[in-house]
A and B are shown apart, each in its own frame.
Chain A
Amino acid sequence: MGLFDRIKAGLQKTRQAVADGLGDVFIGEGDIDEDFYERLEETLIRSDMGAEASERIIDKLRDQVPENHLRRRKDAKKFLIKDITGEMQNAPDAFDFEKERSVVFVTGVNGVGKTTFCGKLAYKLTREGKKVILAAADTYRAGAAEQLSLWAERAGCDLVQGNPGADPSSVIYDAANAAMSRNADILICDTAGRLENRRNLMEELKKMDRVIDKVMPGVRRENLLVLDAVTGQNAVSQAKGFAGVTDLTGIVLTKLDGTPKGGIAVAIESELKVPVKYIGTGEQKEDLERFDAETFVKAMFADDTSEEVSEDDW
C-alpha cells in the first residue's frame, strides 16, 4: 500500500466516526461564497491548523479568488492544495544526511513515539545497507532502554545504553565514541521525553547536544522533533521550546494512522519554518515514510465522494 493510500485509508476509517471530513467542504458545484469560507475555516480549524494560521490561509485565498478568476469550490481546492503544498515542500537536500555520516538527535515531549521512531528509522537505514548505532539516552523512563534494545534486535544494529538513572550525556558520549571507533554511518540518539517548559531538562538536552559536537566535531547533524499528530496548538509551543535548545532541522509526525488531519504541521511550518521530514503511519517496523508535501496535503483535503480524489488524477 502506498503512502497516499495508507493516509487515505486512515482517513476513511476515521470518516466513519466523523460526521464531515476535511474534503467535504469542496464537494458540489457550489460557488465560492461566504458560506464556503465559513465552512472552510471550520475545516481548517478542525484539522488543528489553529485559528491564526487558518485565518491567514483564508485571507490569502480571498485575495487570490478575484485575481485568478476562481469561481468554483473545486478551483479553490486546487489552489489551496497548491498553496499549502508549496509551504510544506522539503528542500532537495533534506534527506542527504541518510547518505553521509551523520548523527540523528531525536527529541520531544512524553509519549509522542520517540523510541518507536528511532527504532523504525534504524530498521529502515540498516535495511538500506547503512551501519547504524542506536543510543538509548532515555535513562529516565522505566523500560525505555529495553524497548529500544528490542528495536535494535529487529533492525539488526548495535545499541549503546547506560544504567537506569545514569547521566544521559554519558550514554551519548559512549555512543558517539562507539560510532567513531566502529566506523558507523549513522548514530541515532533516543532521548527521554520532556516537557518544553522544564528548564532543567532542557539544559540536560543542551548538554547532550554539546557532547555530540565535541566528540564528533563537524559531523552532519539532523535534529528531529517528534510530534504526535493528534496534538493541538501546544505543538507550536513544543516546537519553539525545543528549537531554543537544539537547532531543529526537521519534524517527525507520528501516529498519523489515527488522524488524517495533522494540520498542526502546517501551523508549525508557517510559524517556525521547520519542515516535516518523516511520518509514522502505524505500529509495524516498516510504517515510516519520508514526508511528501503533495501527498500529505492532498490526503488532508481528500473526500470520499468526489471522483477526482485519486492519486493519478492529481
Chain B
Amino acid sequence: MAFESLSDKLQQTFKTLRGKGRLTEEDVRLAMKDVRMALLEADVNYSVVKDFTSRIREQAVGSDVMNGLNPAQSVIKLVKDELVELLGGEQAELVFQPGKSLTVIMMCGLQGSGKTTTAVKIAGKLREKGKKSLLAAGDVYRPAAIDQLKINAEKLGVDVFSMGTEVSPVDIAEKAVEEAKKGEYNVLIIDTAGRLQIDDRMMEELQEIKKRIVVHQTLLAIDAMTGQEAVNVASEFDKRIGVDALVITKLDSDTRGGAVLSVRAVTGKPVVYAGTGEKLDAIELFYPDRMADRILGMGDVLSLIEKAERNIDIDEDTGRSMVSRMKKGRLNYNDYLLSMQQMKGMGGLKSILGLMPGLGTKQLTEAADQVDDRELARTEAIILSMTEAERDNPKLMNPSRKRRIAAGAGLDIAEVNRFIKKFEQGQKFMKQMPGMLRGHGNNPFGF
C-alpha cells in the first residue's frame, strides 16, 4: 500500500508553515489530521485514534513544543512517545511459576490467527531458556490440526500430548496436566481450536477448561493484519475467559500492524511475543518502541542495529587486513565468505531490508527481492568446495579446479563460472574505485 510515512507527511504539512515564528492551534489541528489518517490506515481502532489525537493535541498546544526550532520533529516525538506508552512502555515477558513447578499456558484466538504454530514456537523458545515443555493437542475440530501440531513439534523435538479428536478438549486439558506433572515438564502449552468471540458454546468450552484446571497464563493470538474488529475480539475474549497476555502473529507481513496498538490500549494486557515468519524459530520478544516506529512508518532501525551487533563479530584485525587487501584489489574467497556469513547471520538480506525505514515503498521491496537468499547459499557452497589454497589465492583457478568445485558444490559448472567472473569483476572494480569503499566499514562487498 502506498503509505507515506507519517514523518514525511508531517514534514510536508509543516513545510508550508515555515517562516512563521510559532505554530498556532490551527497548525496543530492540521498536523493531527495527518496523524489520524496515518493511524487509521495502519488499522488502529477508530476510538483509540480519537482519544489519542485529542490527547496529543492537548499536550502539543499546552507545551512549548510549538515554539521549538523544528516543530515537526517535536510533534513526531510526542506522537511516538505516546504510542510507545500505549503499546505498554516496557517490554514484557511471560510469567512463570517459581522454581521448577509446572506453568500451564493456554493458547486461544480466532481461526487462522496462528495459535498452533505459535504454541510450537514458544515451546522452542522456552527450551533455549532451559525449560522443558509439553504441548497438548486441544484442537479437536479443525481437520488435521493435531497432525500440524505433531509434525511441527517433532521438527523441534518437543513432546506432544494428544488423545485424538474424539475426546473433549476439557478432558484433554485435564489429562495433559497429569501427564505434564508425571513427566516433570516445566511448561504445559495447551493448543485450542480457533473460535469466534461470539460463539457462546465454544467460549464456554474455554471457561470450562479454566474451571477444571489451573491455567497460569492465557495467551491470546492476534493476527497483525486484523482490522477494526481486533478490539472487539480481544475485549470479548478477555471478558469471557480472562486473557493474561497477547501474542501478535504474522508480523512479517507488510502490514503496519495497528491492531496490536488497539488491542494493547483497550485490554491493557502486555504483548509477550511477536511471530515473524513461517519458520519455527521466527518468534521474538515484543518491543513497544520499535512497534511504534513501524506503525508510524519510520522503520525498525533499532532491531536492525541489534541484529547487526548480535551477529557481526569480526575482530578488528581481521577487518583491517581485509580492508587493506581490498584496497589493493586482492581480496580472496575467504573474505567473500566471511562477509557473506555475516549477512546470513543477520537473517539474510531480506530480513535486514525489511527493518529499514521507509521500506513500505515498492521499489525497495523489489530491490530486496532481487537478491535471492538461496543464491547466497549456492555461493557459499561454491566457496566451501574450494581448497584452502584456492580460497587464499584466487589466481590458482583453472578449468579442472572449477570442474571439481562444481561437483563438490553440486552445481552446474556454468554457475561456478558465473560466480568466479562476478568475483573477479568485483576485484577490478574495487581496485579502480578505492574512494567509494570508505564508509562500508567491515564489509567491503557492500552488502
Q: Spell out A's residues near B (CB within 8 Å).
A: 10, 13-14, 16-18, 42, 45-48, 50-52, 109-113, 140-144, 146-147, 150-151, 164, 195-197, 199-200, 228, 230-237, 240, 255, 257-259, 261, 264, 283
Contacts and interface: CB of A to CB of B under 8 A. Distances in A.
B365 interface: yes
Interface of A is mostly: loop
Interface stretch (B20-28, B212-220, B230-238): B230-238
A271 to B, nearest CB: 9
Those 6 A-B pairs whose CB atoms lie nearest each other, nearest first: A232-B227, A111-B112, A232-B43, A199-B369, A143-B148, A142-B151
B371 to A, nearest CB: 10
A137 to B, nearest CB: 16
Interface residues of B, number: 52
A50 B146 CA distance: 37
B112 A147 contact: no
B107 to A, nearest CB: 14
A233 B46 contact: no
B37 to A, nearest CB: 5
B442 interface: no
Residue among A150, A197, A264 with the highest chain B CB neighbour number at 10 A: A197
Given A45-B46, A151-B143, 17 more contacts: A14-B198, A48-B228, A50-B40, A111-B114, A113-B112, A143-B144, A143-B146, A147-B145, A150-B144, A195-B253, A200-B372, A200-B374, A231-B227, A232-B230, A234-B254, A255-B110, A264-B227
Given A18-B232, A109-B253, A110-B112, A50 B41 contact: yes
Contacts of A150: 143-144
A16 B239 CA distance: 13
Interface string B124-141: 000000000000000001
B144 A259 contact: no
Interface in B383-411: none
Contacts of B146: 143
A230 B229 contact: yes
Interface hub of A42, A146, A257 (most chain B Cβ within 10 A): A146
A46 B228 contact: yes
A230 B197 contact: no
A51 B253 contact: no
B74 interface: no
A52 B38 CA distance: 11
Nearest to B40: A51
